[in-house]
Amino acid sequence: MGNKILKLDTVSAVGQLFLRFSQCKQEMEGYDLNNKYLITTILRVSPLAELNWETLSATVSHPRINISTNLQNITKLPYFRLIISPGTLSDMMYNPDGLIYNYQPINKDLNVVCKSTISDWYSTNDVLQAHKLSV
């Protein structure tokens, strides 16, 4: 994904391109940061997410979930819980003097904005009624 976004930077010099996530939202649509297990392969019902930028809040609504058919229990554990964790991602700029990586956030304060909400524990034998989680 990063290489696609780098190619869209036509202003910066080659080798010093910016990762402008804020200007490439369409490139990130549908991209899942968890490359091992995609949420759509684990949870077979689609949640609905609503973001409110004015109040910096989010609500995720889950429809009724029949755990035995709608949740793939990869780890075969008897209980699970849902976690929502919206966050922000700053655009990245090239920095040849970076200690570890050659890219650093343009807005360092933006990368630390993250909050999460964790549901109660549910049994993998339950039917989970429709509900909302808010953060």
What pLDDT is recorded for position 100?
63
What pLDDT is recorded for position 9?
76
pLDDT-derived band at 16, boundaries 50, 70, 90: confident
What pLDDT is recorded for position 18?
72
Q: Which of 80, 90, 72 is nearest to 20 (CA)?
A: 90
The pLDDT tens digits of the residues spanning 83-96 come to: 887 766 667 777 77
pLDDT-derived band at 82, boundaries 50, 70, 90: confident
Q: Which of 11, 73, 3 is nearest to 31 (CA)?
A: 3
Q: What is the pTM of this model?
A: 0.57
Sort 27 into a burial class: Cβ within 10 Å, 0-12 / 13-18 / 19+. middle
What pLDDT is recorded for position 97?
79
- Strands of 18-111 (E only): list them: 48-52, 57-62, 65-66, 79-80, 83-84, 92-94, 103-105
